[in-house]
A and B are shown apart, each in its own frame.
Chain A
C-alpha cells in the first residue's frame, strides 16, 4: 500500500478512532463518512473507541498473504468492540488458544512493511484480555 494511502488513515489505525452517527446512535470502525443506515440524514462525529472486545470468528492462516510470510501461522479474527462495531484484526496468541467469544484487548504493533518503499507501518492488533 502506498505511503499516502496508509498515512491518510494513520490516526484511525493507531488510536482506534472511528465514527459515531448521532442520528441513529450507531458506532463505526472502520470509520465512515456516510451512515449506511441514515445515509445523508446521519450526523457523523469522530469517536475514539475504548478498546476491548471479543472474537466473533477467526481463522489460523497457514498460507500467508504476500508480505506476511514470516508471521505464519497467524490468527486473523473478526473483533467486535464493546461499543458494537466489528472489524478484522490479527490476534497475537497461541493459535490453539483462540476461540469464539474470547475477550481481547488492543495493542500497538507493527503491521508490516511495504516491499518497494521499505515503509514500516503500524496499527492495532489484539491480545487475550
Chain B
C-alpha cells in the first residue's frame, strides 16, 4: 500500500442557502479544492462523493455522474465518479474510499467530496428522510426520531454516570464558541448554558440547542500519492490511518446503549494502523449530531474515561487550549450538519489546522489530528488520523 496525502481542500459555506442549488454548492467545493491543490482537472483519475439522501432531499439520484458532469469532468475526460452512502457517515466513507483507491495504486489524483442540500424540503420532510438512517421497520414505525434515539442514549448516560443536562449544554456552548471563529459556520453567535436549557424540548432530555441543525453544504479534498504530493503543495497532510466499523442498525440491539461499539472498534483500528495513542492526537473532529454524541465520542475514542466525558467537557479540557481540542470547527452543532458533507468537512478542518491555517481557532503546534464520523445512531463509524509528518 502507498502512503497518501491531502493536497487540496475546500468547504462551501454551510447554512440555509435558498438561492443556491445542490450542484452549485458541490461544484464550488470541488473546484475550490482543485484550485487549492494546483492540479489541473484533467489529471483527476477518480471521484468519490458522499451523499446520504439526494433522492429524498432534492429528488435526484445518480449523484456521482451529476457531479462529474457539472464539474466539467464527463465530456472528453470521462472521469469515473462514485457515490458513497452510509447515512451521516457518507462523507467520511467517501474519503476512505478515495484514500484506498490511491493507496492501492489503482488511481493517483483523486477527489473526495461530500454534499447535502437539505433545506429544499420542509423540516418535517427532512426529519423523515433522516429517520431512514435508523431501522425503519422496528424504530421508525413506533414513532422514533433521531433526536429521540439520541435522547434515549442521553437518558441512560445520565442514569448510569450522573451526566447532567448542564454538561451536555457545555458541549453546545464550546462548539458555538469555536464556530464563531469559523467563516463557513452556519451559527456564528456564541450561546450560553442557560440558553440551551431554556430552548424548547425536542426529545427529553435533549433541547433544540442540543441538536445539530438542518443545513446545506459541500466539502471537497484532493488526494495524491505521498511521493508526488510535494509537486503540488508545500504542506501536504498525510493520512496515517483509515478505519471503519459497523454495529447493529437499531439502538435497542446494542451491547451497551451508552457506548457506540462501532466508534470504539474504528478508533482502536485507527490507532493500531497509525501506531499511535490518544496522547499523540492534538485535535479531534467528532460527530456531535447531538451534544450527548460528543460526550460518547470522546469516551468511545479513549480521550475520556467511560462516564467522564461530561465532566471533562464541563472542566474545559475539550476546548481549544485544553487537554484535547474537540471540534475546533464548531462541529456539526455550529457549522451545521449537511449529512453527506460532514465527514469531508471534518477532514478539511483537520487539514487546515495541521497546515496552521485555522485563524482564531488554531490549535498551537498541531501535528496530528483525528476525524470521527458516525452514521445513524452508531451503525457505522469512520475514523481517520492525519498528520503533518509522513
A: residues with CB less than 8 A from B are 1, 5-6, 9, 30, 36, 56-66, 68, 71, 74, 76-78, 86-90, 95, 100, 111-112, 121, 123
Contact = CB atoms under 8 A, between A and B. Distances in A.
Contact of B145 (A5, A9, A61, A77): A61
Contact of A111 (B131, B142, B153, B257): B142
Nearest to B205: A59
14 contacts: A57-B155, A60-B204, A61-B151, A61-B202, A63-B127, A63-B145, A63-B147, A65-B144, A66-B128, A68-B143, A78-B251, A87-B138, A88-B138, A121-B141
Q: What 9 A-B pairs are tightest by C-beta distance, nearest first?
A: A59-B151, A60-B204, A57-B156, A68-B143, A86-B252, A57-B152, A66-B128, A63-B202, A59-B203
Contacts of B203: 59-63, 76
A59 B252 contact: no
Nearest to A59: B151
A73 B235 CA distance: 53
A78 B138 CA distance: 11
B156 A64 contact: no
Nearest to B156: A57
B140 interface: yes
B152 A59 contact: yes
B47 to A, nearest CB: 34
Contacts of B248: 36
A30 B204 contact: no
A56 B145 contact: no
A65 B152 contact: no
Most buried by A among B124, B202, B252: B252
Contact of A88 (B131, B144, B156, B201): B144
Contacts of B206: 59
Contact of A78 (B125, B127, B143, B257): B257
A17 to B, nearest CB: 14
Nearest to A5: B137
Interface string B306-329: 000000000000000000000000
A100 B152 contact: no
Given A59-B203, A61-B203, A78-B152, A87 B252 contact: yes
Contacts of B124: 66
Nearest to A32: B253
Most buried by B among A36, A78, A123: A78
Interface residues of B, number: 37
Contacts of A9: 137
Interface string B128-161: 1001000011111111110110011111100100
Most buried by A among B125, B138, B205: B138
Interface of B: 124-125, 127-128, 131, 136-145, 147-148, 151-156, 159, 200-206, 248, 250-253, 257
A71 B251 CA distance: 22
Contact of A90 (B137, B140, B142, B204): B142
A59 B32 CA distance: 43
A9 B250 CA distance: 17
Contacts of A121: 141
A1 B124 CA distance: 16
Contacts of A111: 141-142
Contacts of A76: 142-144, 148, 152, 203
Contacts of B145: 61, 63-65
A123 B136 CA distance: 15
Nearest to A75: B204
Given A9-B137, A57-B152, A65 B143 contact: yes
A71 B143 contact: yes
Nearest to A28: B253
A88 B142 contact: yes
A124 to B, nearest CB: 9
Contact of B252 (A62, A71, A88): A88
Most buried by B among A30, A68, A123: A30
Contact of A74 (B141, B143, B201, B202): B143
A76 B203 CA distance: 9
Contact of B127 (A30, A66, A90): A66
